[in-house]
Structure 1
Amino acid sequence: MTVKSDNEVDVDVLVIGAGVVGIYALYRAIDAGFTARTLEAGDGVGGVWYWNRYPEARFDSESYTYGYIFSKELFREWRWREEFATQPEIEDYLNFVVDRFDLRKNISTGQRVVSAVYDETDAIWVVTTEAGETTRARWVISATGGLSVPHLPEIEGLDDFQGEGHHTGAWPHTPIDFTGKRVAIIGNGPSGAQLLPAIVDVVESVDLYQRTPTWTTPLNNAPITSERYEWLHDNFEDIVTVLSTSPSGFLHEPAGKFSTEDSAEARQEFYEKIWTSPGFAKLTSNYYDMTTNRDVNLEFCEFLAKKIRSIVKDPVTADRLIPKDHLFGAKRPPFVTNYFESFNKPNAGLIALKETPIVRVDATGIETTEGHRDYDIIVYATGFDFGTGALTRMGVKGREGLDLSIDWADGPSDFGGFSANRLPNFFFPGGPHGAGGGNYPRYSQDQVDWILDTIIYAREQGYHSFEPTAAQEAIWMSMIETLAPLSIFSVEHSHYYGANVEGKPRKFLLNPGGRGKLHEILDGVSSTENYGGAFTSAHETVAAG
């Protein structure tokens, strides 16, 4: 097999996507001495934090744990204003990072990838954008993430609406004036739950259309004081250690006990403490057996239900806001501010879609089985084509005829949540099976570090290609299938199974083994000679197994 020399490619490493993960991948590639370029579909950097700019869009992971931890200087130079930053500050931060490390000259914006084809003869990737640009690269890192393809609901007549219609995942850059408007929000996940309190005091009316209630709890945000700022930076090394090794990728203190170690009265006191804890601490600092002991989870759910009933004045509305079909944590729980309080406003309404389904959207509003409501603005807070959406739309074709749009039609098959057999030199950190719940950037950093270490190793050893073997992929997928039924997230009508997209196969799209299983498998591959035989040199053919 004849392989073109490295100087016949445009770049060694091509990164697709300039979000949190893509920026880090570009930094690592350049820092390692590779020529590198990033193609970004948007007109600016930020990824999900470029597109999701609806009112009150913000982190629900602590800002300093979600941001980068590879540089002590960067950690100290950027001062977050809040524990959970809003979108404008997040976008400013990511632009600061790009300029701080002089990465902007390597990023091409307005370049949506529509084709990525592996040339088996030359062992390179040929990547083409919608704008017609073509890049030849030895290695491709597709950092498009699992939340980058907004999904519109399958409702008749969406295009007939004559008012304003917007998806929270593709929000316009020009601010929307909600003052005095009649608004519908379809969807009650994190974005819908954030948006409702942000606009309820300025609109004429707002109706939230809820398919299934979720266990929404308070974010408990706070400003970062000078004392907190100094503590964070005085303890940088310890923080990095915890974030790099903890199963969840958070700094939260664990409960240190099982529910059975407390009396019934003590458990109620503990739940009060959890209610006032920040964000994901309601999962990570809860009892050790909260996610495995159905009885204790039910007890906590009843505690939450009482909280909802104590906040929402109308008992019928309160009951409709209480989940009946899943335990706490089984779906991704939104962490927001004043969500339940919003339903006490006279201009806010809740429409339970299982009781009152939508018939169609028309020119002036929404028709349900109970009648028609006029709206000026409809907001679709209906999530994303999670996990696979971007990759299957990008025209990815590997060796021996692999076509992700076809081969993943019944669900993805991969290794480590970031690579696949028959996709030589192609990686997708943060992709399907790429995270096990918790702080996504910490999982994705693990993957990017392993990817770059692998590419560096290939350079040092004179290899031109890497891909996981079919056997390695089978071991990983067997782990996914075996552990998925045991996962706290194993509710098949959630977006973790692709259930929010009509016609999408119900396949578990997280890593049920979590960060620990990811490290275990990757460490095992790395310790095997030649990474388990997954490398090829310039004159070898790629092994199928």
Structure 2
Amino acid sequence: MPDPASAATRATGFDAIILGAGIAGMYQLYRLRQLGLTVRVFEAGTGVGGTWYWNRYPGARFDSESYTYGYAFDEALLQDWNWSEHFAAQPETLRYLNHVADRFDLRRDIRFEARVTRAQFDEAAREWEVALEGGETHRARILITAIGPLSAATLPRIPGIEDFRGTSFHTYRWPHEPVDFAGKRVAVIGTGATGVQVIQTIAPQVGQLTVFQRTPNWCTPLHNRPITEDEQARIKAGYPEMFELLRRTPGCYIHDTDPRGTFEVTEAEREAFWERLYSEPGFGIWMANFRDVLTDPKANALFSDFVARKIRQRVKDPATAEKLIPKCHGFGTRRVPQETRFYEAFNLPHVSLVDTRETPIERITAAGIRTSEAEYAFDVIIYATGFDAITGSFDRIEVRGTGGQRLKEHWADGPKTYLGLMSAGFPNLLTIVGPHNASTRCNIPRCIEQNVDWVTGLLRHMQAQGLTRAEATPEAEAEWSAHIEELAAGMLYTQVDSWATGINRNVEGKTVRRILQYQGGAPQYRARCDAVAEQGYAGMTMD
């Protein structure tokens, strides 16, 4: 890589361009500055934060423990920041990320309100040309995507969305100003993780709430609470041990899989263990369960029955309870929403549930929503209808590599990557938190830091060797993609329709299951990436 101060570098614009100023983009900027590179970050929003900038809906908060989620690269930052809750809400998280941007003076290299529409690799110049909305172009040797796995929001394919005369928005595009729900007739479409958080939060505030549900989810209690002063001191003193634990666990959570099998204990021991998990905070119920709950159908069915009993105990109306219990997938085979009195919201007299599998939504009308059975009038419609996950944010940018090939076409039958960080035919393109990457099934900042540090090591190697081009070989890409399929074999989640398997019926063509995630766990993924680096970046051509 050329000296950043050279005339050649100035002529091409930047050494590196980063797409996105969320957790990944900010950290990658910090690391590239340490290499002395000239960097520009293009961010579509008006501020930093990524997920936490866009998702401002009521109830948005962590489902990872706050102190496990923050950046780990700077000890002073860890000691100076105090999280107020075990699972922080969106406003606090956004304040934290703004604090990081200020602390390390990151904004001077970030261009806001700059949406990238196209990226083309110039083979003669060995650099990427990046076009912004409006036609402005910039060039850089290295292009790094930090665009997030859940950033391509999707509206449902229901006729009439534009006809509604009231207020409506997708949760990802929540207004920056407060929304007054007092006395309003409100519809929420969707009961995934976002829908759960919105519903439980606004239910006590609205005049009337109608929830339209297509697929129920297995939801378990978050058990959030404030962090006391004594806890704060213990957390800060214990950061080294905690981060070492996070390096060892498959998902980089403080929860580790129980080594026992479901049927290796007595029924009484099993029930007592599950009762304890249900009463404890966070993802332990998903991540620290018996080792076979996510692979053995019989074990999974038994635990699903346990959670179903909890739902029936908490929802007073038996018919509503049954609608809220998933029948088409087992516990943990889709992401588990963490909730706080979500089920109790349906006990309120002004809250009702419409099962759209029984009575499908036919269209959005000027006044509200019409199903096959009834018409409903609303003042507000909230679309909690999720994302075109993992690959969707890539599909919305026209990325062209060598020979003009499009990344979307290269991935048409499912992603093809090397380490989830590169694709053959797309030189100097590095995809942080991309498909086939451990970070999409992880306490994401922990895996983001691993991704960024590996990319930084690669670029440092290129600097030292005077290299200007790095690309995955087709053979390495094919081997890694086959490895991804092998790791997923036997996992129950691969049999279920969800964003994790590439299914999104709100997006044309996203109806075929694909393996999008690395299933070997973060420690194994980290070891593979480290081995590639130690072998002189095996599986790549560099010159």
Return the TM-score normalized by structure 1: 0.95
Q: Which residue is 1:543 aligned to? A: none
- CA deviation string 1:379-398 (max 9, x = no partner): 11010010111112111111
- Helix, strand or coil: the match of 1:531? coil
Q: Which residue is 1:89 aligned to? A: 92
- Native 8 Å contact 1:155 1:361 kept in 2: yes
Which amino acid in 1 is paired with 2:104? F
Q: Separation in 2 of the partners of 1:148 and 1:378?
A: 21
Residues 289-298 or 312-321, more deviating = 289-298
Q: Which among 456, 460, 467 is matched to residue 456 of structure 1? A: 460
Q: Separation in 2 of the partners of 1:297 and 1:405?
A: 36
Shift of 1:4: 9.0
Residues 355-364 or 258-267, more deviating = 258-267
Q: Separation in 2 of the partners of 1:154 and 1:259?
A: 41
Which amino acid in 2 is paired with 1:454? L
- Helix, strand or coil: the match of 2:538? helix
Q: Separation in 1 of the partners of 2:490 and 2:27?
A: 32
Q: Separation in 1 of the partners of 2:321 and 2:78?
A: 42
Q: Which residue is 1:503 aligned to? A: 509
Identity %: 42
Is 1:318 matched with 2:321?
A: yes
- CA deviation string 1:158-217 (max 9, x = no partner): 111111111011111111111111111000001100001111112111111111111011
Which amino acid in 2 is paired with 1:90? T
- CA deviation string 1:33-82 (max 9, x = no partner): 22212110000111111110000111111111111011111111111101
Is 1:391 matched with 2:394?
A: yes
Q: Which residue is 2:538 aligned to? A: 532
- Helix, strand or coil: the match of 2:16? strand
- Native 8 Å contact 1:62 1:84 kept in 2: yes
Is 1:493 matched with 2:497?
A: yes
Q: Separation in 2 of the partners of 1:509 and 1:340?
A: 31
Q: Separation in 2 of the partners of 1:498 and 1:373?
A: 32
- Native 8 Å contact 1:434 1:444 kept in 2: no
Shift of 1:256: 4.7
Shift of 1:225: 1.1
Shift >6 Å, 4+ stretches: none
Q: How many residues align?
A: 535
Q: Separation in 2 of the partners of 1:444 and 1:131?
A: 31
- Native 8 Å contact 2:200 2:341 kept in 1: yes
Which amino acid in 1 is paired with 2:482? S
- Helix, strand or coil: the match of 1:532? coil
Residues 40-49 or 488-497, more deviating = 488-497
Q: Which among 60, 69, 82 is matched to residue 72 of structure 2? A: 69
Matches within 5 A, 1:377-456: 377-435=380-438, 437-456=441-460
- Native 8 Å contact 2:296 2:492 kept in 1: no
Q: Which among 357, 360, 363 is matched to residue 363 of structure 2? A: 360
Shift of 1:261: 3.7
Is 1:12 matched with 2:2?
A: no
Q: Which among 283, 286, 293 is matched to residue 283 of structure 1? A: 286
Q: Separation in 2 of the partners of 1:10 and 1:369?
A: 57
- Helix, strand or coil: the match of 1:27? helix
Return the TM-score normalized by structure 2: 0.95
CA RMSD of aligned residues (A): 1.7
Q: Which residue is 1:171 aligned to? A: 174
- Helix, strand or coil: the match of 1:64? helix
- Native 8 Å contact 2:128 2:143 kept in 1: yes
Which amino acid in 2 is paired with 1:177? D
- CA deviation string 1:461-499 (max 9, x = no partner): 111011111111111100122233422421341111222
- Helix, strand or coil: the match of 1:472? helix
Is 1:518 matched with 2:525?
A: yes
Q: Which among 479, 482, 488 is matched to residue 478 of structure 1? A: 482
Q: Separation in 1 of the partners of 2:122 and 2:34?
A: 27
Q: Separation in 2 of the partners of 1:83 and 1:153?
A: 34
Q: Separation in 2 of the partners of 1:200 and 1:137?
A: 49
Q: Separation in 2 of the partners of 1:105 and 1:4?
A: 22
- Native 8 Å contact 1:464 1:535 kept in 2: no
Q: Separation in 1 of the partners of 2:469 and 2:43?
A: 25
Distance change (3 Å), C-alpha of 1:123 and 1:350: same
Shift of 1:259: 2.7
Structure 2's unaligned 5+ residue stretches are none
